[in-house]
Amino acid sequence: MSKETLIKRTSNTLSKLPPDKVKEVSDFADNILKKYDEEILQKGIEKLVNNSKVYDFLKEEEDIYSFEDLKETYN
């Protein structure tokens, strides 16, 4: 079903409901929109962090210690 068809169908259904139920549906739709906006924002932040070069120095960090530095080993 297309988005336009769903909107028309929902609008027709809402027109048959009492005002308090229409308010309830409106609040629910606002809640869904808020979650969707937060999800988009979160994905955008994740993309920025993943594409950032801020932590690249950690990938190139030299090894400070080697196995020869160990005083005791457990097998």
Whole-prediction pTM value?
A: 0.61
> How far is Cα 45 from Cα 51, in angstroms, rounded to an integer?
10
Percent of the chain whose predicted confidence (pLDDT) is above 90: 63
> How far is Cα 15 from Cα 46, in angstroms, rounded to an integer?
41
CB atoms inside a 10 Å sphere around CB 34: 10
Give tens-digit pLDDT for 10-56.
999 999 999 999 999 999 999 999 999 999 999 999 999 888 888 78
C-alpha triplet 60, 68, 61: angle, nearest 5°: 10
